[in-house]
C-alpha cells in the first residue's frame, strides 16, 4: 500500500527553509520514496504532520456493504461484485453484466483475498 502526506505548497516551502533542503528531498520524504528512510526524511515527515499534514493511503477503490440478511457485498471499480453469504460460507463473483463468474463453497477468511483478486481481474 502506497502512502503519502498531503501538505500545502506553503508548508513545503516552510519545511525546505527549516531544514535547508531541496524541494525534491521534501517531496521524496512526504511520498515515502526510496531513499527516504533517513533521519532528515523522518524529521520532514514529523514536521509536515505537526503543521497539519494529512497522512493518506492509495488503495484500490472498493465499496463493502454488510447487509442484515447475512451477506457481505463488495463492489469493485471494474463493475464486478463479490457476494459472500456469511451464514453458509459461500462466495459468488459477478462480472459487470451481472453474470455469475465463479462460485466458491466453504469459504474461510483466508480465502477472501484470492476471491477479491478474481473479482478485480474481470
- Helices 23-30, 39-50: axis angle to 10 degrees equals 80
Q: What is the predicted pLDDT for the residue at 36?
A: 76
Rounded distance, CA 72 to CA 30, Å?
35
Q: What is the predicted pLDDT for the residue at 40?
A: 95
Is residue 119 very low, low, confident or very high in pLDDT (cuts 50, 70, 90)?
A: very high
Amino acid at each position: 500500500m502506497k502512502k503519502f502526506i498531503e501538505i500545502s505548497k506553503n508548508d513545503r516551502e516552510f519545511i525546505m527553509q527549516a531544514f535547508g533542503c531541496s524541494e525534491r528531498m521534501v517531496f521524496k520524504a512526504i511520498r515515502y520514496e526510496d531513499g527516504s528512510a533517513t533521519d532528515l526524511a523522518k524529521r520532514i515527515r514529523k514536521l509536515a504532520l505537526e503543521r497539519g499534514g494529512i497522512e493518506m493511503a492509495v488503495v484500490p477503490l472498493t465499496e463493502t456493504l454488510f447487509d442484515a440478511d447475512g451477506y457481505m457485498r463488495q463492489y469493485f471499480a471494474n463493475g464486478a461484485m463479490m457476494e459472500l453469504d456469511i451464514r453458509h460460507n459461500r462466495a459468488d463473483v459477478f462480472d459487470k453484466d451481472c453474470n455469475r463468474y465463479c462460485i466458491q463453497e466453504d469459504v474461510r477468511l483466508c480465502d477472501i483475498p484470492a476471491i477479491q483478486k478474481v473479482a478485480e481481474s474481470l
